[in-house]
Amino acid sequence: MRSVTIIGAGPAGLSAARVLVAAGLRDVLLLERNPEAGGLPRFCDHLGWGVLDLHRFWRGPRYARELVTRAAGAEIRTNTTVTAMAAGGSLHVSSPDGPAVIESRAVLIATGIRETPRGPRLVSGTRPWGVMTTGAFQEMAQARQIPFRSPVIIGTELVAFSAIMTARHAGISPVAMIEVNPRITARRPGDLIARHVFSVPVLTDTRLVTIKGVDRVEGIVVEQQGQRREITCDGIIFSGAFVPEAFLARASGLAIDPGSGGPVIDNFYRCSDPSYFAAGNILRPVEHSGMAAREGVLAAGAILQALGAGLPRPDAAIPVSIGGAMRYAYPQRLVLADDKPLGLFGRARIAHQGRLRVLCDDAVIASRPITILPERRLAITIAARDLVGRSAVSILLD
């Protein structure tokens, strides 16, 4: 039986492995379904990776290689897919060597996120070549494959601006970015940089209506302020609209939070089955690699405590609920262990100006005015003393 098995060898999984190996574990196993470890950064050949966790300013592939190097001592099996997770840490896997079962005292799920492709977005029109997600585009660009020369980027999350830099590095010139909302999703001045540094128009309040083309993309029809017009392009990059890669967790019977789409966890990153832990972007739609790596480190620390029987019982957890304009908050369960403050993260469903209130049972323990936009991280701290003797926590944006 393994001490720890980690599903996913991206920033969260590799960072957790580094901590576990440094603590003296010699049988840490990482399972990665792709041919190489490193996660999404492997395909992002632009600067900006490693700032928060490694205090470096690297290109994605360099950052990914460093994460793998720092996890030395852990066994990494690539081309290996987990097909089922049974109670108590039993994993069914498939690899070129055939099916197998791996038993572990603890399992960390770090499967990350996936983008929403065209189908679930309900975009009409033909189905020509040249329509793909940002992840598929970055993977092709990394392999020096040029799928188009003048694409349109749908979405304005941070990854969409990453796609612009990937495109320019590959000699590709996007003709426009399309955003259905009144403002971009990423922080400003991303739109100004797109317009004035990369000469890519950013069209807000604009909806993609139809894709045109037979063998390959020839253009799109968009609607802006009730008016429709055609934009000539030879490719479409559907960017963002991320969801946690939580199908395996859902199919295996772990509790899933309807707001975040990821597994329900406590403040020790434990799932509803305490043999399983979760960290990184599987916990919510998307955060940058530094945040995912940080959570991998913290989850590894909790796993070490669990292996030493040092964690409090999970059945003593206080449930966390949300209301008003809140989209989600995690951890969804809080367990008192000492007098240290407990931290939560969340996001709003919509742009909101009002008041953030934190209630323990019916008592308001925190209240402050707040102005927040969707996709902006909301950090909340609760003093341990405020939870003593309480049965529920509520986080409200009203």
Q: Give the H or E element holding residue 224.
A: strand 217-224
- The whole-angstrom separation of Cα 264 and Cα 330 is 8
CA distances from 148 to 131, 144, 172, 205, 217 (A): 10, 12, 7, 26, 9
How do strand 98-109 and strand 276-278 relate by DSSP bridges? parallel
Residue 136 tokens, joined: 């598929």
- The answer regarding whether domain 118-238 maps to CATH 3.50.50.60 reads yes
Predicted pLDDT of residue 286: 80
Residue 58 tokens, joined: 């690297």
Predicted pLDDT of residue 350: 86
Question: Could you tell me which residues come within 8 angstroms of residue 309 by beta carbon, excluding any fewer than 6 positions away?
Answer: none
Of 168, 197, 201, 172, the C-alpha closest to 184 is 201
Q: Using DSSP, state whether 193 is helix, strand or coil.
A: helix
Q: Does this chain's domain 2-114+242-311 share its CATH topology with 320-397?
A: no
Q: What is the CA radius of gyration of the chain?
A: 22
Amino acid occupying residue 55: H
Dihedral sign, Cα of residue 284, residue 87, residue 10, residue 55: positive
> 157: which DSSP letter?
S
Amino acid occupying residue 194: A
Say if residues 285 and 243 touch (Cβ distance below 8 Å).
yes
Give domain 2-114+242-311's CATH superfamily. Answer: FAD/NAD(P)-binding domain (3.50.50.60)
Query: For the purposes of burial, counting CB atoms within 10 Å of the CB of 281, is it exposed (0-12), middle (13-18) or buried (19 or more)?
Result: buried
- The whole-angstrom separation of Cα 349 and Cα 328 is 8
Residue 142 tokens, joined: 């990394």
Predicted pLDDT of residue 277: 98
Say if residues 345 and 377 touch (Cβ distance below 8 Å).
yes
Can you say whether residue 163 is alpha, beta or left, with left for phi > 0 and alpha for psi between -120 and 50 degrees?
alpha
Say if residues 117 and 211 touch (Cβ distance below 8 Å).
no
- The whole-angstrom separation of Cα 357 and Cα 126 is 48
Looking at domain 320-397, its CATH architecture is: Sandwich (2.60)
Query: For the purposes of burial, counting CB atoms within 10 Å of the CB of 386, is it exposed (0-12), middle (13-18) or buried (19 or more)?
Result: middle
Q: Alpha-carbon dihedral of residues 349, 186, 332, 245, nearest 10 degrees?
A: 110
Residue matched to tokens 């955060």: 287
Amino acid occupying residue 42: R
Query: For the purposes of burial, counting CB atoms within 10 Å of the CB of 383, is it exposed (0-12), middle (13-18) or buried (19 or more)?
Result: middle
Query: For the purposes of burial, counting CB atoms within 10 Å of the CB of 223, is it exposed (0-12), middle (13-18) or buried (19 or more)?
Result: middle
Spell out a b/e string for 323-332, using b for 16 or more CB atoms within 10 Å of the CB, else e. Answer: ebbbbbbbbb
Count other Cβ atoms within 10 Å, centred on residue 70.
Answer: 17
Predicted pLDDT of residue 56: 93
How do strand 58-59 and strand 75-77 relate by DSSP bridges? unpaired
Per-residue tens of pLDDT for the chain, all 398 residues: 999 999 999 999 999 999 999 999 999 999 999 999 999 898 887 788 999 999 999 988 999 999 999 999 999 999 999 999 999 999 999 999 999 999 999 999 999 988 887 877 778 888 899 999 988 898 888 788 999 999 999 999 888 888 998 898 889 999 999 999 888 888 888 888 889 888 999 999 999 999 999 999 999 999 998 999 999 999 999 987 788 999 999 999 999 999 999 999 999 999 999 999 999 999 998 888 999 999 999 999 999 999 998 899 998 899 999 999 999 999 999 999 888 999 999 999 988 999 999 999 989 999 999 999 887 899 999 999 999 999 999 999 99
Q: Where are the domains of the chain?
A: 2-114+242-311, 118-238, 320-397
Helix extents (H) in the chain = 11-22, 60-70, 118-121, 134-142, 158-169, 190-196, 247-251, 289-307
- The whole-angstrom separation of Cα 232 and Cα 221 is 9
Q: The whole model's pTM is what?
A: 0.90
- The whole-angstrom separation of Cα 314 and Cα 180 is 42
